[in-house]
Amino acid sequence: MKITIIGTGYVGLVTGACLAEVGNQVYCLDTDQEKIDILNLGGIPIYEPGLESIVKRNVAAGRLQFGSDVAASVEFGEIQFIAVGTPPAKNGSADVQYVLTAARNIARHMNSYKVIVDKSTVPVGTADKVKDAIRQELAKREISTDFSVVSNPEFLKEGAAIDDFMKPDRIVIGVSDERAADSMRRLYQPFQRNHERMIVMDVRSAELTKYAANAMLATRISFMNELANLAESLDADIEQVRQGMGSDPRIGHYFLYPGCGYGGSCFPKDVQALRNTANECGSGMRIMDAVEAVNETQKVRLVDKVNRHFGTNLEGRKFALWGLSFKPNTDDMREAPSVAIVNKLIAQGATVVAFDPVAMPEARRMFTGINGITFADDMYQALEGADALIIVTEWKEFRSPSFAQMMQKLISPVIFDGRNLYEPEWLHSNGFSYYSIGRQVTKSESAH
């Protein structure tokens, strides 16, 4: 099939590359000429494992092309995916102006039936707005071409996006007519695997499904974080509680990991947008209010622990920080807990030496002009002369480090672990003071 993808951001690029991979002809449109040039030269503007090779292979095979010609892109695809950004507006609602601009551009150039697919995460009711915008533009041109608007939310996890797209758990399709449903069935046939993955529903329900899924996952995380804090007060161990809870199949083990809060481009934005929608409806959603509030305090929970150990005046203290991205396998630092932690430590007079396997260029950009943070060449260099280590992201290389090197390089053997990577008892018996999330504190004899 011939497909156009509008927007070569994270979602657009992954969608375009994966649809080309199964044999479709794909045109990816972006107004950012610099980005288009990078892509046409085989470069990938984002970090996502496996994406570069798929893009290169499909560009070479002539199935995937990048351009900025709107008229050509509309002419090209029988299916037009809108995958542009929906940044949060000031009041927390998702701003759909780029989605509507893309829809109008399609209508200005289309001369035959098109299926227009909302891939961006958009508030419930956006498909209707897209439909209206297209109708208005067609009316201006005095053209009565048929079209369908479909909602097809994405469920891609950063760092695992290719797998999520190629082997989806479910493909949610919101349609209001059979013709569009047929097109979408044909398009997604190669991804069905052994059994039906497609859930066809009405458009508004599909739009809500995306928010519902992310809000549910964020709720589990905030629930576990609050429970972990309670476990600390009760001298219980959240890791044991988590295993006990998760083995109930109705609960399951996924997304029960306490830590230093959720971040990224989806959960914070989607929780806020859902709250906003609920407020607009007059009902509000008290659970989501709590989920967000808990997350905000959880992000700096490690600093509270630092303060309990070192006091609140951190003047002259230096901290090593491992992990800057909001989770492993990405360089994305949007809403990352590391940002809140670094800012708070610096505000209390400390300096930070950070290391992250891939996110340091992004971090350098984000912290430009901020004094108090520097970056180390490797994870052990970050420890040199530091008062303590703070772990924020659970990159694989942090899971079994050389504790001997840690002991040697840190001024005092103190670890604040926001991801519960190590065994408290073992660290204790090896002379470390170890603070983690929801587990008993273990203090070495030599700790101050």
Comparison of 49 and 372: residue with beta carbon closer to ligand UDX: 49
Residue 255 burial (CB count, 10 A): 15
Long-range contacts of 399-404 (CB under 8 A, 24+ apart): 403/427, 403/430, 403/432
Instruction: Report if residue 267 touches ligand UDX, rule: CB under 6 A.
Output: yes
Instruction: Report if residue 228 touches ligand UDX, rule: CB under 6 A.
Output: no
Token pair in block for residue 372: 């108090």
Residue 22 carries which DSSP code? Answer: T
Least distance in angstroms from the C-beta of 337 to ligand UDX: 7
| Backbone φ and ψ of 389, nearest 5° | -105, 135
> Which of 120, 126, 214, 295 is close enough to bind ligand UDX by CB under 6 A?
214
Instruction: Report if residue 395 touches ligand UDX, rule: CB under 6 A.
Output: no
Instruction: Report if residue 257 touches ligand UDX, rule: CB under 6 A.
Output: yes
CB 15 within 8 A of CB 83: yes
Instruction: Report if residue 264 touches ligand UDX, rule: CB under 6 A.
Output: yes
Comparison of 221 and 414: residue with beta carbon closer to ligand UDX: 221
d(CA 40, CA 363): 27
Comparison of 63 and 301: residue with beta carbon closer to ligand UDX: 301
Burial classification of residue 174, based on how many CB atoms lie within 10 Å of its CB (0-12 exposed, 13-18 middle, 19 or more buried)? buried
| Helix%, strand%, coil% for the chain, nearest 5 | 45, 15, 40
Per-residue contact string for residues 84-113; x = within reach of ligand UDX by CB under 6 A: ------------------------------
> Which of 22, 46, 155, 163 is close enough to bind ligand UDX by CB under 6 A?
155
Instruction: Report if residue 157 touches ligand UDX, rule: CB under 6 A.
Output: yes
Query: At which residue do the structure tokens 């004899």 appear?
Result: 445
> Which of 85, 123, 259, 438 is close enough to bind ligand UDX by CB under 6 A?
259
Least distance in angstroms from the C-beta of 312 to ligand UDX: 26
Residues in Cβ contact with 58 at an 8 Å cutoff, skipping those fewer than 6 apart:
17, 20, 21, 26, 64
Residues in Cβ contact with 236 at an 8 Å cutoff, skipping those fewer than 6 apart:
none
Residues marked active site are found at: 266
CB 58 within 8 A of CB 40: no
Find the binding residues for ligand UDX in span 326-365 (CB under 6 A): 326-327
Q: Which stretch binds ligand UDX (CB under 6 A): 70-78, 139-147, 149-157, 274-282?
A: 149-157
> Which of 39, 181, 266, 415 is close enough to bind ligand UDX by CB under 6 A?
266
Residue 88 burial (CB count, 10 A): 15
> Which of 21, 154, 232, 237 is close enough to bind ligand UDX by CB under 6 A?
154
How wide is the angle at C-alpha 264 spanned by C-alphas 259 and 266, nearest 5°? 115
Residues in Cβ contact with 194 at an 8 Å cutoff, skipping those fewer than 6 apart:
none
Per-residue contact string for residues 36-75; x = within reach of ligand UDX by CB under 6 A: ----------------------------------------
The amino acid occupying position 237 is: D
Least distance in angstroms from the C-beta of 107 to ligand UDX: 28
Least distance in angstroms from the C-beta of 218 to ligand UDX: 7
Binding site for ligand UDX (CB under 6 A): 154-158, 214, 217, 221, 255-257, 259, 262-264, 266-267, 326-327
